[in-house]
Amino acid sequence: MNDILVLVGAQTWKPVLTALALPPVPWLLLMLFGARLMFWKRSIAWLTMLLSAALIWLSCTSAVGEWLERLILRPAPALQAERLAEIKRAVGSGKKIAVVILGGGRDARAPEYALSHLSEPALLRLHYGVWLSRQTGAPMLFSGGVGYGQAVGAAEAETAARIAERDYGRPLTWTESESRDTRENASHSTAILKGAGITEILLVTHGWHMRRAVRAFEQEAQRSGSGIQVVAAPMGLAASSEGALLRWMPSLPGMTRVRHVLREGLGLLFGA
Protein backbone atom coordinates (compact mmCIF):
# COMPACT_ATOMS: atom_id res chain seq x y z
CA MET A 1 0.00 0.00 0.00
CA ASN A 2 2.79 2.42 0.88
CA ASP A 3 4.50 1.72 -2.46
CA ILE A 4 1.23 2.39 -4.29
CA LEU A 5 0.82 5.76 -2.57
CA VAL A 6 4.40 6.66 -3.50
CA LEU A 7 3.84 5.51 -7.08
CA VAL A 8 0.78 7.73 -7.57
CA GLY A 9 2.30 10.63 -5.65
CA ALA A 10 -0.28 10.51 -2.86
CA GLN A 11 2.09 10.20 0.13
CA THR A 12 0.67 13.38 1.67
CA TRP A 13 -2.65 11.55 2.11
CA LYS A 14 -1.11 9.03 4.51
CA PRO A 15 -2.02 10.97 7.71
CA VAL A 16 -5.61 11.47 6.51
CA LEU A 17 -6.09 7.83 5.51
CA THR A 18 -4.56 6.68 8.79
CA ALA A 19 -6.83 8.95 10.83
CA LEU A 20 -9.89 7.62 9.01
CA ALA A 21 -8.86 4.00 9.64
CA LEU A 22 -8.28 4.41 13.39
CA PRO A 23 -10.78 4.60 16.27
CA PRO A 24 -13.14 6.21 16.85
CA VAL A 25 -13.98 6.83 13.17
CA PRO A 26 -14.85 3.21 12.20
CA TRP A 27 -16.99 2.77 15.32
CA LEU A 28 -18.79 6.07 14.72
CA LEU A 29 -19.58 4.98 11.16
CA LEU A 30 -20.83 1.65 12.51
CA MET A 31 -23.07 3.54 14.95
CA LEU A 32 -24.51 5.65 12.12
CA PHE A 33 -25.15 2.47 10.15
CA GLY A 34 -26.98 1.05 13.17
CA ALA A 35 -29.09 4.19 13.41
CA ARG A 36 -30.02 3.83 9.74
CA LEU A 37 -31.15 0.24 10.39
CA MET A 38 -33.79 1.54 12.81
CA PHE A 39 -36.15 1.97 9.85
CA TRP A 40 -36.04 -1.75 9.01
CA LYS A 41 -34.58 -3.95 11.76
CA ARG A 42 -34.85 -2.32 15.17
CA SER A 43 -33.36 -5.24 17.11
CA ILE A 44 -30.32 -5.49 14.82
CA ALA A 45 -30.02 -1.71 14.85
CA TRP A 46 -29.88 -1.62 18.66
CA LEU A 47 -27.30 -4.42 18.74
CA THR A 48 -25.18 -2.58 16.18
CA MET A 49 -25.31 0.68 18.13
CA LEU A 50 -24.54 -1.04 21.43
CA LEU A 51 -21.60 -2.83 19.79
CA SER A 52 -20.36 0.51 18.46
CA ALA A 53 -20.58 2.10 21.89
CA ALA A 54 -18.73 -0.83 23.49
CA LEU A 55 -15.97 -0.66 20.88
CA ILE A 56 -15.56 3.08 21.41
CA TRP A 57 -15.32 2.50 25.18
CA LEU A 58 -12.79 -0.34 24.88
CA SER A 59 -10.65 1.51 22.35
CA CYS A 60 -10.14 4.27 24.93
CA THR A 61 -8.82 2.04 27.76
CA SER A 62 -5.26 1.36 28.88
CA ALA A 63 -6.03 -2.33 29.47
CA VAL A 64 -6.98 -2.90 25.84
CA GLY A 65 -4.05 -0.80 24.61
CA GLU A 66 -1.52 -2.88 26.55
CA TRP A 67 -3.16 -6.15 25.48
CA LEU A 68 -3.10 -5.15 21.82
CA GLU A 69 0.51 -4.03 22.13
CA ARG A 70 1.57 -7.43 23.44
CA LEU A 71 -0.55 -9.26 20.86
CA ILE A 72 0.27 -7.28 17.71
CA LEU A 73 3.60 -5.56 18.24
CA ARG A 74 5.50 -7.73 20.74
CA PRO A 75 7.86 -4.86 21.70
CA ALA A 76 11.52 -5.63 22.32
CA PRO A 77 12.69 -5.47 25.95
CA ALA A 78 14.65 -2.52 27.29
CA LEU A 79 18.45 -2.66 27.20
CA GLN A 80 19.78 -3.88 30.53
CA ALA A 81 22.82 -2.63 32.46
CA GLU A 82 24.96 -5.62 31.44
CA ARG A 83 24.26 -4.99 27.74
CA LEU A 84 25.01 -1.30 28.12
CA ALA A 85 28.33 -2.15 29.76
CA GLU A 86 29.19 -4.40 26.80
CA ILE A 87 28.37 -1.63 24.35
CA LYS A 88 30.45 0.88 26.32
CA ARG A 89 33.45 -1.45 26.20
CA ALA A 90 32.95 -1.95 22.46
CA VAL A 91 32.84 1.80 21.87
CA GLY A 92 35.95 2.23 24.02
CA SER A 93 37.79 -0.36 21.97
CA GLY A 94 37.08 1.55 18.77
CA LYS A 95 33.96 -0.13 17.42
CA LYS A 96 31.88 2.29 15.35
CA ILE A 97 28.54 2.38 17.17
CA ALA A 98 25.99 5.21 17.05
CA VAL A 99 22.78 6.06 18.87
CA VAL A 100 20.06 6.77 16.29
CA ILE A 101 17.03 8.68 17.62
CA LEU A 102 13.87 8.74 15.52
CA GLY A 103 11.73 11.83 15.49
CA GLY A 104 8.17 11.83 16.78
CA GLY A 105 6.82 15.24 15.77
CA ARG A 106 7.44 18.88 16.53
CA ASP A 107 5.58 22.13 17.06
CA ALA A 108 6.44 24.59 14.29
CA ARG A 109 6.39 27.35 16.92
CA ALA A 110 5.97 27.03 20.68
CA PRO A 111 4.83 30.47 21.94
CA GLU A 112 6.46 30.02 25.36
CA TYR A 113 9.87 29.58 23.70
CA ALA A 114 9.17 31.70 20.60
CA LEU A 115 10.88 28.87 18.71
CA SER A 116 10.06 25.46 17.31
CA HIS A 117 9.95 22.70 19.91
CA LEU A 118 9.76 18.92 19.97
CA SER A 119 6.48 17.17 20.68
CA GLU A 120 6.26 15.09 23.85
CA PRO A 121 7.04 11.75 22.12
CA ALA A 122 10.03 13.22 20.30
CA LEU A 123 11.35 14.91 23.43
CA LEU A 124 11.12 11.66 25.39
CA ARG A 125 13.05 9.87 22.65
CA LEU A 126 15.72 12.55 22.66
CA HIS A 127 15.97 12.38 26.44
CA TYR A 128 16.56 8.63 26.37
CA GLY A 129 18.95 8.92 23.44
CA VAL A 130 21.06 11.45 25.33
CA TRP A 131 21.06 9.23 28.41
CA LEU A 132 22.05 6.23 26.30
CA SER A 133 24.86 8.20 24.69
CA ARG A 134 26.19 9.19 28.11
CA GLN A 135 26.03 5.59 29.33
CA THR A 136 27.84 4.13 26.33
CA GLY A 137 29.93 6.95 24.90
CA ALA A 138 28.36 6.44 21.46
CA PRO A 139 27.71 9.52 19.28
CA MET A 140 24.15 10.48 18.36
CA LEU A 141 22.17 10.97 15.18
CA PHE A 142 18.66 12.44 15.23
CA SER A 143 16.42 11.69 12.25
CA GLY A 144 13.38 13.78 11.45
CA GLY A 145 12.31 16.40 8.95
CA VAL A 146 8.87 17.91 8.41
CA GLY A 147 6.38 15.07 8.36
CA TYR A 148 3.39 14.67 6.08
CA GLY A 149 0.56 16.85 7.27
CA GLN A 150 2.78 19.02 9.50
CA ALA A 151 3.06 22.78 9.28
CA VAL A 152 6.07 24.20 7.47
CA GLY A 153 8.97 25.42 9.56
CA ALA A 154 12.19 24.16 11.07
CA ALA A 155 12.94 20.48 10.57
CA GLU A 156 12.57 18.28 13.62
CA ALA A 157 16.25 17.33 13.62
CA GLU A 158 17.27 21.00 13.68
CA THR A 159 15.04 21.59 16.70
CA ALA A 160 16.44 18.47 18.40
CA ALA A 161 20.02 19.62 17.77
CA ARG A 162 19.31 22.93 19.50
CA ILE A 163 17.69 21.25 22.51
CA ALA A 164 20.40 18.59 22.81
CA GLU A 165 23.16 21.18 22.91
CA ARG A 166 21.53 23.96 24.95
CA ASP A 167 19.41 21.95 27.40
CA TYR A 168 21.36 18.70 27.70
CA GLY A 169 24.87 19.91 27.00
CA ARG A 170 25.48 17.00 24.65
CA PRO A 171 25.53 18.00 20.96
CA LEU A 172 24.34 15.70 18.23
CA THR A 173 27.05 14.38 15.93
CA TRP A 174 24.73 14.09 12.95
CA THR A 175 21.31 15.43 12.00
CA GLU A 176 19.07 14.00 9.29
CA SER A 177 16.42 16.58 8.44
CA GLU A 178 14.88 15.39 5.16
CA SER A 179 12.82 12.36 6.22
CA ARG A 180 9.03 12.46 6.45
CA ASP A 181 8.26 8.95 7.70
CA THR A 182 9.92 5.83 9.12
CA ARG A 183 11.08 4.50 5.78
CA GLU A 184 12.78 7.77 4.97
CA ASN A 185 14.26 7.87 8.49
CA ALA A 186 15.97 4.60 7.60
CA SER A 187 17.12 5.45 4.08
CA HIS A 188 18.51 8.91 4.84
CA SER A 189 20.08 7.95 8.16
CA THR A 190 21.74 4.84 6.73
CA ALA A 191 23.36 6.93 4.01
CA ILE A 192 24.87 9.25 6.63
CA LEU A 193 26.01 6.43 8.90
CA LYS A 194 27.48 4.39 6.07
CA GLY A 195 29.60 7.37 5.07
CA ALA A 196 30.79 7.71 8.67
CA GLY A 197 31.83 4.06 8.82
CA ILE A 198 29.25 3.11 11.47
CA THR A 199 28.79 -0.66 11.79
CA GLU A 200 26.14 -0.86 14.54
CA ILE A 201 23.35 1.37 15.76
CA LEU A 202 21.30 1.59 18.94
CA LEU A 203 17.89 2.46 17.54
CA VAL A 204 15.86 4.67 19.89
CA THR A 205 12.10 4.99 19.55
CA HIS A 206 8.98 4.07 21.52
CA GLY A 207 8.38 0.38 22.11
CA TRP A 208 5.16 0.47 20.08
CA HIS A 209 7.09 1.86 17.09
CA MET A 210 10.18 -0.32 17.39
CA ARG A 211 9.13 -3.35 15.35
CA ARG A 212 8.38 -1.30 12.24
CA ALA A 213 11.44 0.89 12.74
CA VAL A 214 13.80 -2.09 13.05
CA ARG A 215 12.29 -3.63 9.93
CA ALA A 216 12.83 -0.42 7.96
CA PHE A 217 16.47 -0.03 9.08
CA GLU A 218 17.33 -3.69 8.49
CA GLN A 219 15.80 -3.58 5.02
CA GLU A 220 17.70 -0.41 4.21
CA ALA A 221 20.97 -1.83 5.54
CA GLN A 222 20.52 -4.82 3.27
CA ARG A 223 19.50 -2.74 0.26
CA SER A 224 22.41 -0.30 0.64
CA GLY A 225 24.98 -2.96 1.44
CA SER A 226 26.06 -1.01 4.52
CA GLY A 227 26.11 -4.08 6.78
CA ILE A 228 24.93 -1.96 9.71
CA GLN A 229 23.64 -4.06 12.60
CA VAL A 230 20.49 -2.79 14.32
CA VAL A 231 20.10 -3.09 18.10
CA ALA A 232 16.65 -2.18 19.43
CA ALA A 233 16.81 0.38 22.25
CA PRO A 234 13.12 0.92 23.03
CA MET A 235 11.73 3.40 25.53
CA GLY A 236 8.27 4.25 26.86
CA LEU A 237 7.71 0.64 27.92
CA ALA A 238 6.20 1.33 31.33
CA ALA A 239 2.76 -0.16 31.96
CA SER A 240 -0.09 2.05 33.07
CA SER A 241 0.10 3.01 36.75
CA GLU A 242 -3.69 3.19 37.01
CA GLY A 243 -5.54 0.84 39.30
CA ALA A 244 -7.19 -2.29 37.89
CA LEU A 245 -10.62 -0.67 37.60
CA LEU A 246 -9.34 2.59 36.11
CA ARG A 247 -7.43 0.68 33.44
CA TRP A 248 -10.82 -0.36 32.02
CA MET A 249 -12.18 3.20 32.12
CA PRO A 250 -11.88 5.47 29.06
CA SER A 251 -8.92 7.84 29.29
CA LEU A 252 -6.76 9.95 27.02
CA PRO A 253 -3.64 7.78 27.64
CA GLY A 254 -5.70 4.67 26.92
CA MET A 255 -7.07 6.04 23.67
CA THR A 256 -3.61 7.23 22.63
CA ARG A 257 -2.07 3.83 23.30
CA VAL A 258 -4.75 1.96 21.34
CA ARG A 259 -4.37 4.32 18.39
CA HIS A 260 -0.58 3.98 18.42
CA VAL A 261 -0.78 0.20 18.43
CA LEU A 262 -3.39 -0.02 15.68
CA ARG A 263 -1.52 2.54 13.59
CA GLU A 264 1.66 0.49 13.84
CA GLY A 265 -0.25 -2.69 13.06
CA LEU A 266 -1.60 -1.10 9.89
CA GLY A 267 1.91 0.11 9.02
CA LEU A 268 3.31 -3.39 9.38
CA LEU A 269 0.45 -4.87 7.36
CA PHE A 270 0.69 -2.42 4.48
CA GLY A 271 4.47 -2.06 4.41
CA ALA A 272 4.70 1.54 5.61
State how far Cα 68 lies from the chain centre: 16
Residues of the chain with pLDDT under 50: 5-8
- Per-residue pLDDT, 3: 52
- Per-residue pLDDT, 259: 93
Query: What is the C-alpha to C-alpha distance for residues 192 and 196, in angstroms, rounded to an integer?
Result: 6
DSSP secondary-structure letter at 236?
Answer: -
Query: What is the C-alpha to C-alpha distance for residues 192 and 199, in angstroms, rounded to an integer?
Result: 12
Q: How many CB atoms lie within 10 A of CB 196?
A: 13
Give, for 164, the enclosing helix (H) or strand (E).
Answer: helix 156-166
- Per-residue pLDDT, 14: 60
- Per-residue pLDDT, 201: 98
Q: Where are the alpha helices (DSSP H) in 72-155?
A: 81-92, 120-136
Cβ contact 72:264 at 8 Å: yes
Cβ contact 120:235 at 8 Å: no
- Per-residue pLDDT, 13: 60
**What pTM was computed for the model?**
0.85
- Per-residue pLDDT, 7: 47
Please identify, in words, the CATH class of the domain defined by 81-235.
Answer: alpha beta
Q: Where in the chain is the domain with CATH 3.40.50.620?
A: 81-235
